[in-house]
């Protein structure tokens, strides 16, 4: 199992103190600066974003944008456990590293209330637009979509324990926002509901709340009355020896989401992807089945380990949509020059493969200087026309042999700055420039 920070929801005091010490250490590894942002944040570093929109419960927003962020990137919302934080989730999971490989953006919401647990129990939290934490998280997504022209069809939620419960809540409250979710050691939507202001529901945590699939599904549907659109897919994980959120909650989650997605409770496929794991898929047998459930025999509440995020990424479908992790670092060189007049310019860009293996299919990412907008181009498809641009190979020049080069170019308008871009990444790897 991983030695990364674990969820310690409702653990004995000694366990909580140990967890807090671990999280403090993790926080020192990454100490993001709180800065009000109205435009893109620095890349390859965790940054706190303030003033991101409606935020009734005073959540903090942390954002990670990789150097090779794609045009119209996917967005993953990674939600921490009780006693945790956005920076702890950043340090203790692989989502940032996966973002580096595949070019998506990661939002890390962070609780400021004393418990450091997300609100998954109040009537406000269990209703679309009702207030509390889900509204703040939705504002974070809206800010990110607006700032990065993110792909609204590829927004995902994942979380551990309290974050897993919030994943269930987010998919229930905002089915039109999320494409899929992955919940590690959670409970069904609405299971933790309380009306007395308490954050804790002992009956749910103890695994004694059961409903029919229809009843569970109705709880989800009541969060957004009248909604008839597509529903997000769900992946759930649980350990059989979970003593914080008991194992029966796993079966109740399966009942709920199979009903919500209108698929049979009888698995379409069952396998053992790893010793001690039982994986069942509902509604389809593929990696992107409507519902996927992984049971870990003999494992307790703190089940999350390195490698699991990669499996969630596969369920999301993000492991094949970003830039390939080739060529290796230092294996490309780019030369860019411009020829300008009044308010226009042409740019010539030469990409050279300085590695030892052939590049098959490429994406060249760069940022246009402020005020420049591409009006047409050749040798590649350019999207978007300004800001962070990705040039994708044409059908005739997608292969670059070792020591070979490809020349592309574009025409652009400018507002006075006619310089060439200063940095380039090829399939996610920074290139040398000359």
Tell me the two tokens of residue 11.
């653990």
Q: What was the pLDDT predicted at 26?
A: 44
Beta strands in 2-52, from DSSP E residues, in sequence order: 34-36, 47-50
Contact residues for 108 (Cβ-Cβ < 8 A; gap 6+): 46, 61, 62, 63, 64, 78, 80, 86, 87, 89, 90
Q: Model pTM?
A: 0.69
Bridge partners, residue 4, by sequence: none
Please give the positions annotated as active site: 161
State the distance between the two ends of the chain, measured CA to CA, in whole angstroms: 46
Dump pLDDT digits (tens) for 28-57.
444 576 655 557 899 999 999 999 999 999
Q: What was the pLDDT predicted at 156?
A: 98
Contact residues for 226 (Cβ-Cβ < 8 A; gap 6+): none
Q: What was the pLDDT predicted at 55?
A: 98
Give 312-334 as a DSSP string. Answer: HHHHHTGGGTS--S-S-TT-EEE
Q: What was the pLDDT predicted at 17?
A: 36
Residue 262, classified by CB atoms within 10 Å of its CB into exposed (0-12), middle (13-18) or buried (19+), is: exposed
Q: What angle, rounded to 10 degrees, do the helices at 213-222 and 162-173 form?
A: 70
Q: What was the pLDDT predicted at 34?
A: 62
Q: What was the pLDDT predicted at 39?
A: 72
Tell me the two tokens of residue 124.
């406000």
CA distance 98 to 344: 38
Phi, psi of 253 (to 5 degrees): -60, -45
CA distance 190 to 72: 33
Tell me the two tokens of residue 251.
């079966």
CA distance 350 to 348: 7
Tell me the two tokens of residue 189.
């939507």
Q: What was the pLDDT predicted at 171?
A: 98
How do the pLDDT tens digits run along the chain, 434 residues long?
333 333 333 443 334 333 443 444 444 444 576 655 557 899 999 999 999 999 999 999 999 999 999 999 999 999 999 999 999 999 999 999 999 999 999 999 999 999 999 999 999 999 999 999 999 999 999 999 999 999 999 999 999 999 999 999 999 999 999 999 999 999 999 999 999 888 899 999 999 999 999 999 999 999 999 998 999 999 999 999 999 999 999 999 999 999 999 999 999 999 999 999 999 999 999 899 999 999 999 999 999 999 999 999 999 999 874 433 333 334 788 999 999 999 999 999 999 988 777 888 888 988 899 899 999 999 999 999 998 888 999 988 988 988 899 999 999 999 999 999 988 888 767 788 87
């Amino acid at each position: 199992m991983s030695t990364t920070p674990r969820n310690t929801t409702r653990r004995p005091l000694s366990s909580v103190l140990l967890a807090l010490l671990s999280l403090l250490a993790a926080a020192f590894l990454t100490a993001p600066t709180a800065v009000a942002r109205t435009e893109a944040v620095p890349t390859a570093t965790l940054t706190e974003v303030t003033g991101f929109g409606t935020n009734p419960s005073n959540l903090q927003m942390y954002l990670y944008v990789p150097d090779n962020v794609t045009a119209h990137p996917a967005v993953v919302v990674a939600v921490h456990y009780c006693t945790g934080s956005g920076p702890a989730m950043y340090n203790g999971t692989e989502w940032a590293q996966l973002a580096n490989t595949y070019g998506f953006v990661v939002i890390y919401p962070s609780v400021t209330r004393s418990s450091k647990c997300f609100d998954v129990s109040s009537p406000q939290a269990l209703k679309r637009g009702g207030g509390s934490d889900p509204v703040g998280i939705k504002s974070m997504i809206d800010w990110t979509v607006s700032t990065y022209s993110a792909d609204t069809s590829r927004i995902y939620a994942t979380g551990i324990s309290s974050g897993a419960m919030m994943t269930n809540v987010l998919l229930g409250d905002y089915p039109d926002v999320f494409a899929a979710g992955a919940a590690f050691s959670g409970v069904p939507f609405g299971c933790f509901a309380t009306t007395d202001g308490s954050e804790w529901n002992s009956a749910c945590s103890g695994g004694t709340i059961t409903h029919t699939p229809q009843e569970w599904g109705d709880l989800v549907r009541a969060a957004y009355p009248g909604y008839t659109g597509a529903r997000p897919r769900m992946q759930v994980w649980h350990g059989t020896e979970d003593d914080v959120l008991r194992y029966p909650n796993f079966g109740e989650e399966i009942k709920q989401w199979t009903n919500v997605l209108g698929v049979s409770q009888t698995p379409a496929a069952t396998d053992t992807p790893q010793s001690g794991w039982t994986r069942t898929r509902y509604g389809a047998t593929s990696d992107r089945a409507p519902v996927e459930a992984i049971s870990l025999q003999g494992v307790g509440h703190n089940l999350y380990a390195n490698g699991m995020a990669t499996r969630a990424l596969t369920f999301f479908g993000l492991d094949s949509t970003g830039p390939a992790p080739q060529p290796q670092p230092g294996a490309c060189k780019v030369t860019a020059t411009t020829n300008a007049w009044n308010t226009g310019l042409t740019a010539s860009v030469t990409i050279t493969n300085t590695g030892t293996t052939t590049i098959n299919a490429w994406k060249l990412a760069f940022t246009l200087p402020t005020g420049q907008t591409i009006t047409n181009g050749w040798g590649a498809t350019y999207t978007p026309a300004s800001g962070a641009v990705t040039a994708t190979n044409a059908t005739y020049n997608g292969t670059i042999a070792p020591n070979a080069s490809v020349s592309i170019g574009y025409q652009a308008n400018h507002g006075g700055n006619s310089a060439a871009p200063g940095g380039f990444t090829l399939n996610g790897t920074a290139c040398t420039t000359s």
